[in-house]
Amino acid sequence: MTIDRKKLVDLLIEKTDLSQEEVEIQLDQLIERILDAAERGKALEIKEFGLFFFDQEGDLKFEPSEELSTEISFKYAGMKPVELKPERNTAIPDDDDPAGSISAADDVIVVPKSDRKSPSLNPKKSPETKPASASASASASKIRQPIRQKKDRSGVWALLAFFIVLIIGAIIYFNRPSTSVTDTSVSVSEPSSQESDIQNYPEPQDNTETEIENNDTSTEIVEETYISEGSDEEQNQEVSVPIQNQIYGLTGEFAESVNTGYSIVVYSLYNDFRAEEVAEELRADGYRVKITTRVVDGLDVYRISLGLFESIPDAQAAAETLPEPFNENNFIQRIQL
């Protein structure tokens, strides 16, 4: 919405109880004063609002005061850049390039494009015979290494994730054999007992009684079926619990054990009661909701965030799926308890 001069005058009349003429005169005087001061090469400051001045090109500029800037960007106040990747300085380049490690790391940035065309340069071969090319090759290798390093790192993370999944899979798998064994033993009497389901629990007792008369071994089987059914349910629960309580995602509940990850902030509020109310509403919608507190200008700010994600891209992708206005009006913060 745009407030034009007429609306502004109306609002000023409402606020000051001055007449329209007076307000118009005062507004013109203010503008004149700003321009007059600026034209004289001075800046005119309206305290707690900002500074008007002419820049070197002669354009009228305005620099908002810190208070006004903070107030306008209140929602994001106190936010700091989040580092996404570690520094380049690692032990890997030293292992690959013992001779080249002498060259200054800062100079590396200048060289890259010309030297990238000669990827076959090997600093290990003749570092002493060709000092100029050696330093160039050393720098070239130093430039390339971080790129490889990044890929390696992502590969390592992927492998790590893969192994974790494998271990979890193995744990689930090794917990299952007991069910599969019982399943095989159950398979004989399964049709009758499973069709009856839980509602027909009393019936099997009758069956056992009748079967006792016939054969002792068959009763054992029948008893096993009920034992195995029970254990099967338990195991199903065991399997389904981690799925329901997945650590990451937009919906569900926050696992207290997880203290790192990324979340989508959709509200920043001063009032903790209001924050709790809003959080409850979002929880009712099935979202994984968390309230985090930040101190901004000495005041507690309650940020309500949705979901928990392993990485920023995951969080960004999830943020796009949020309903309006959250899908456009949000930011991602790192959760650290």
Contacts to another protein by CB under 8 A: 1-5, 8, 11-12, 15-16, 18, 22-23, 26-27, 29-31, 33-35, 38-39, 46, 48-50, 54, 56-62, 64, 68-69, 71-76, 79-85, 87-88, 109, 146, 312, 331-332
Q: Please say which residue, 61 or 124, places its beta carbon nearer to another protein.
A: 61
Q: Please say which residue, 82 or 227, places its beta carbon nearer to another protein.
A: 82
Q: Please say which residue, 111 or 255, places its beta carbon nearer to another protein.
A: 111
Tokens of 76: 């994001």
**Minimum CB distance to another protein, residue 278 (Å):** 19
**Minimum CB distance to another protein, residue 187 (Å):** 55
What sign does the dihedral 323-77-316-312 (CA atoms) show? negative
Asked whether the beta carbons of 51 and 31 are under 8 A apart, the reply is: no
**Minimum CB distance to another protein, residue 165 (Å):** 27
From 313, 263, 306, select the one nearest 157 (Cα to Cα). 313
Asked whether the beta carbons of 333 and 79 are under 8 A apart, the reply is: yes
Q: Please say which residue, 146 or 204, places its beta carbon nearer to another protein.
A: 146
Q: Please say which residue, 29 or 205, places its beta carbon nearer to another protein.
A: 29
**Minimum CB distance to another protein, residue 50 (Å):** 8
CA pair distance 305, 285, nearest whole angstrom = 14
CA pair distance 41, 57, nearest whole angstrom = 12
Could you tell me if residue 224 is left (phi over 0), alpha (psi between -120 and 50 degrees) or otherwise beta? alpha
Q: What is the CA radius of gyration of the chain?
A: 35
Give the list of residues 6+ apart from residue 330 with CB closer than 8 angstroms, or none. 264, 265, 266, 319, 322
Q: Please say which residue, 52 or 254, places its beta carbon nearer to another protein.
A: 52
3-state secondary structure at position 295: strand
Q: How far is CA 129 from CA 95, 132, 142, 257, in A?
A: 21, 9, 20, 58
Q: Please say which residue, 16 or 236, places its beta carbon nearer to another protein.
A: 16
CA pair distance 305, 284, nearest whole angstrom = 14
Q: Establish whether the linkage from the previous residue to 242 is cis, with ω within 30° of 0.
A: no
Write down how long the chain is: 337
**Minimum CB distance to another protein, residue 291 (Å):** 19
CA pair distance 169, 143, nearest whole angstrom = 40
**Minimum CB distance to another protein, residue 26 (Å):** 4
Q: Please say which residue, 71 or 220, places its beta carbon nearer to another protein.
A: 71
